[in-house]
């Protein structure tokens, strides 16, 4: 795997490369899975990788629920935008932004953790959950497993919390469907924005960066076209962010977080 595939640009080359970078560059989301199970030993390795990620002040403000039961997977798939691959994956990991553990520590100690009420702490929980999950994604790939994030688990967070018996002060941040990639799957590596569009030196240069978007739009339109899909990158971003009606219920996340005990004030 090379940088030119990653960027969809033959001119994109890295002067520094190794096996870890090659594994990262080759990332693609896997939504079609073969029949083999993910073993408990593999699950333990994914979680150990996740726990090895950095965490703010060693707070470790996350948990993960490993779901294998077909009925539960199907119910979660229905809650998460009815995406078949969620039920089809042998293992669904639901990553939980979890301030409940610290709240329970405080309750047992008869003290307060009022900082957990603030948006900053909710953000820490989501950030640390994400750092952990990304380590699991790469660990999975190193074991020959594929995965895909399921952001739609946030479409109906209260129902997901109920299905997983989450305690107060905890919310499903995202799902991760994991399994053996179906060898018949032809999905490719989606090119990313040119590096010059996202990397700034010393200070942010909006016009310099954005000048690289039109070439990327052409590349993405060609990539989408190969899979029979319309649209360039800019058009898809604008459609996805048009307004609350494009958010599948997630425009209510703030009030739902409050209801689940993450007031995020």
State the minimum distance, in angstroms, from the CB of residue 34 to a copy of itself.
18
Contact predicate 129/154, CB 8 Å? no
Interface residues for a copy of itself in 22-51 (CB under 8 A)? 23-27, 29, 39, 41-45, 47-49, 51
78: contact with a copy of itself by CB under 8 A: no
4: contact with a copy of itself by CB under 8 A: no
Name the phi and psi angles at 88, rounded to 5: -75, -30
101: contact with a copy of itself by CB under 8 A: yes
Which of 17, 84, 222, 229 touches a copy of itself (CB under 8 A)? Answer: 17
d(CA 260, CA 168): 6
Bridge-partner residues for 175, per DSSP? Answer: 94, 150
DSSP state letter for 31:
-
User: Between 222 and 237, whose beta carbon lies closer to a copy of itself?
Assistant: 237
Contact predicate 58/172, CB 8 Å? no
85: contact with a copy of itself by CB under 8 A: no
User: Between 250 and 259, whose beta carbon lies closer to a copy of itself?
Assistant: 250
d(CA 83, CA 153): 10
State the minimum distance, in angstroms, from the CB of residue 184 to a copy of itself.
22
Interface residues for a copy of itself in 133-192 (CB under 8 A)? 133-135, 137-139, 142-143, 148-149, 151, 154, 163-167, 170, 173-174, 190, 192
20: contact with a copy of itself by CB under 8 A: yes
Pick the closest to residue 28 from 182, 200, 255 (CA basis): 182
Which of 79, 86, 87, 116 touches a copy of itself (CB under 8 A)? Answer: 116
Q: Which residues contact 8 (CB under 8 A, 6 or more apart)?
A: 191, 219, 220, 222, 223
Beta strand pairing call for 170-179 and 146-150: antiparallel
d(CA 203, CA 201): 6
Interface residues for a copy of itself in 50-69 (CB under 8 A)? 51-54, 56-60, 62-69
Interface residues for a copy of itself in 194-233 (CB under 8 A)? 195, 197-206, 209-210, 213, 233
| Total binding residues toward a copy of itself, as defined by CB under 8 A | 125
Contact predicate 172/200, CB 8 Å? no
């Amino acid at each position: 795997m090379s940088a030119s595939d990653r960027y969809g640009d033959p001119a994109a080359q890295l002067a520094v490369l190794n096996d870890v970078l090659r594994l990262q560059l080759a990332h693609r989301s896997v939504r079609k899975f073969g029949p083999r199970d993910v073993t408990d030993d593999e699950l333990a390795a994914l979680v150990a990788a996740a726990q090895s990620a950095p965490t703010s002040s060693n707070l470790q403000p996350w948990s993960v629920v490993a779901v294998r039961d077909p009925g539960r997977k199907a119910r979660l798939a229905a809650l998460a935008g009815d995406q078949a691959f969620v039920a089809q994956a042998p293992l669904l990991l639901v990553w939980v932004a979890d301030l409940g553990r610290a709240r329970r520590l405080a309750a047992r100690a008869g003290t307060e953790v009022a900082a957990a009420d603030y948006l900053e702490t909710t953000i820490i929980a989501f950030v640390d959950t994400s750092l952990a999950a990304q380590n699991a994604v790469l660990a999975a790939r190193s074991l020959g497993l594929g995965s895909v994030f399921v952001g739609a688990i946030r479409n109906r967070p209260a129902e997901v919390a109920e299905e997983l018996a989450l305690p107060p002060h905890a919310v499903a941040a995202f799902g991760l469907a994991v399994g053996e990639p179906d060898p018949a799957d032809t999905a490719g590596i989606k090119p990313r924005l040119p590096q010059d569009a996202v990397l700034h030196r010393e200070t942010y240069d909006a016009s310099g960066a954005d000048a690289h978007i039109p070439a990327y739009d052409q590349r993405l339109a060609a990539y989408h076209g190969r899979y029979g899909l319309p649209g360039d990158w800019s058009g898809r971003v604008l459609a996805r962010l048009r307004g609350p009606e494009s958010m599948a219920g997630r425009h209510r996340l703030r009030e739902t977080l409050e209801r689940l005990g993450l007031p995020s004030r």
